[in-house]
Amino acid sequence: MVKLQTAPESVVFLGAGASFASDFSKPTMRSFFDAEHEKYGNLARLLTDFYGTRPRTEWNLEEILGYIDLSSTRLARWDPRRVLLTDDRHARAYGECLAYVDERLGVDPDSVCERHARLFRSLAPRDSVVSLNYDLIADQALLRVDADRVGATNPKRRSRAMKPASLLAAPNLMAGFVPGFIGDEFEEGFLLKLHGSLDWITCSNEQCPAASDIFRRTGSEIPGQIAGSPCRRCGSALRTVLVPPVASKRALEHHQLQLQWSIAYRELSRARTWVVVGVSLAPSDFDVRWLLRVSAAREFDSGLVVHVVNPSRDARQQFRELLGPAGVSLVEHDGMDSFLVAK
């Protein structure tokens, strides 16, 4: 008898607004930059060149990551002479930008956001969390909630927050590589991070064999895996894995990222309830819009209910436009607190 994984009842889908509404009040992509960015000279110069006299409150992290990424991938082929002049500057600014993002979004590893924890306690163990956020707020809250749930029996290994580790690096088994899920990977839900994570690292040298892999910086059984230290294979500096919001090929650049998106699709398309917190759907965000729409469109009427939790009326309207035609029942909430009270 082939064992098939059961379907989740609910999936929580988190955007930057969830981290903004968290106990840590993290900035969203818009108005991301504060005065501390000036410590990073190359980044500060690039931002001033790019935005000119526009006020800092309008500087957008996604726009800058996308600009640098497209410049380095496209100009390398279209205008190599210009790349010689700008590439090094861009590379240094990009490295500094990742360090600044880490500093700006970092939270104390022992702190847990009570709102996130309350949200996750309302989930069954088989339910999943999908996040677009780079920060570790959901990871830490889920780790705490799952540890409380499973008690003293190896709580870390049993947590959905640790699932990314086994999805990023295949478990080391006596039998060698095993392509399918094993053991309790079947039993419980997932935490899936579609745009990368502050605690994922890879090699910055695209020619290096290690550049096709992603490693987890924290929670790993092997400490000391940090951005900036040399890659064991080639000596290039290790870098944080954040996915710039550009062409879809980026999301599929690493096979581990493809796996995150593929499982997110499976979880979303089988769940009967979604709770979408703090997600703003930019028209250019083709990947996320596609994922949500294709997962909502079911062959048979599934009675999918989507709770859209967002203080912005415009953001809620975007969901009505995207998912309404798929026959979804939308329930709107103007914030995390009012959603948690209504639960």
Applying CB under 5 A, which residues contact Zn ion?
203, 205, 208, 210, 231, 233-234, 236
Residues 6+ apart with CB under 8 A from 264: 128, 130, 192, 194, 291
Contact in structure between 65 and 244 (CB atoms under 8 Å): yes
Residues 6+ apart with CB under 8 A from 184: 158
H or E element: which one contains 342?
Answer: helix 336-342
Of 145 and 214, which has the nearer Cβ to Zn ion? 214
Of 231 and 328, which has the nearer Cβ to Zn ion? 231
Of 157 and 233, which has the nearer Cβ to Zn ion? 233
Q: Which two tokens stand for residue 18?
A: 């969830």
Cβ of residue 213: shortest distance to Zn ion, in angstroms? 10
Of 144 and 239, which has the nearer Cβ to Zn ion? 239
- 3-state helix, strand and coil shares in percent for the chain, rounded to the nearest 5: 45, 15, 40
Give the Cα-Cα-Cα angle 311, 316, 322 (nearest 5 degrees).
160
Of 172 and 207, which has the nearer Cβ to Zn ion? 207
Cβ of residue 252: shortest distance to Zn ion, in angstroms? 21
Interatomic CA distance for residues 90 and 99, integer angstroms = 14
Cβ of residue 225: shortest distance to Zn ion, in angstroms? 13
Q: Which two tokens stand for residue 264?
A: 């997110």
Contact in structure between 210 and 233 (CB atoms under 8 Å): yes
Contact in structure between 277 and 309 (CB atoms under 8 Å): yes
Residues 6+ apart with CB under 8 A from 3: 186
Of 231 and 291, which has the nearer Cβ to Zn ion? 231
Cβ of residue 201: shortest distance to Zn ion, in angstroms? 11
Cβ of residue 206: shortest distance to Zn ion, in angstroms? 9
Cβ of residue 168: shortest distance to Zn ion, in angstroms? 16
Q: β-strands 238-242, 10-14: how paired?
A: unpaired
